[in-house]
Amino acid sequence: MPISNTLRTFLFETNLLSWILLATMFLMIEIGWRLGRFFTSKYGIKKVDASETFMAAIFGLLALLLAITFSGASDRFDKRRDLIAKEVSSIGTAYQSVDLLPLQYQIHVKDLFKKYLDSRIEVYQGGMSEIAINQRFDKQTDIGNQLWQAVVLAVKNTAPSDKLIAGQILPEVSDMFDASANQRLAMKFHPPPIIWQALISLALVGSLVAGYNLGIEQKRDWFLTIIFTVLMVGTIVVILNLEYPRIGMVKLDDFDVELINLRQSF
């Protein structure tokens, strides 16, 4: 069952996710250890070469899935940063195009531009719950509609000799809205839930098999156990944070500040 956005936000913001994964993996290793000891003492099972083949297959599949999800999360994170840069550029260009409109409309349109940019900044500075985000996007959409209507009205009321020049602002404003829409869609682009389920399941199965193998050998290796679990949990948490920036440890603040800098320049 897919995890809800509210629960995901809570787990990320409280850092409970990493602790839950860590505790679960240690539990699976302990279960595997006890199973290995039980079968060894009761049935005399010993480690054979075939077990190495099974372990290699399981951990090889886990490594492949980690590589795929990490690469995809990293690519989507880079794309989100690129979209912010494009949005900053499109808003700046559209704002400069206001000078093409008649003077009597410029003050009102520029005020709406400022309100629109304020609403865009507010989208990322508030809480990241789904309800709060949708409310801020609705507010931004309302301001955007007002801005578009004001620009269209200004172009219509421009003198025929200057209408062609004034009309150049329309595609610039349209591009600005497209950049905003692409940002909103990018926030929803994630792998199917089954990918996360498979990744977590493989990590837990790998922990179980590793513990089982140690149980058969009748040896505990706490150093390798801790290293394995910490690295595995750390990698999964990093992937999840790359997939869901703004609500985890990975942030886009260095790029969001460009919107603030642009607003200060208006």
Residue 94 in tokens: 């559209």
With beta carbons less than 8 A apart as the criterion, state whether 9 and 247 touch. Answer: yes
The residue with tokens 């049935």 is: 43
- Name the residue among 163, 174, 175 with its Cα closest to residue 101: 163
More confident residue, 245 or 196: 196
pLDDT of residue 28: 94
What pLDDT is stored for residue 1 in this prediction? Answer: 42
Model pLDDT for residues 178-190, shown as the tens digit of each residue: 988 888 888 788 8
Task: For the chain, give every domain's residue range.
Answer: 5-15+24-265
The answer on pLDDT for 76 being more than 60 is yes
Instruction: Annotate 206-221 with b (16+ C-beta within 10 A) or e (fewer).
Output: bbbbbbbbbbbeeeee
What mean pLDDT is reported for the chain?
84
Q: Which residues of 155-192 are buried (b: 16+ CB within 10 A; e: fewer)?
A: beebeeeeeeebbebeebbebbbebbeebeeebeeebe
Whether the pLDDT of residue 108 is over 80: the answer is yes
Give residue 226's Cα distance to chain centre.
28
pTM to 2 decimal places: 0.78
Distance CA 232, CA 222 (A): 15
CA 86/CA 144 separation, integer angstroms: 18
Instruction: List, for residues 152-174, the tens digit of each pLDDT value.
Output: 998 888 888 778 888 888 899 99
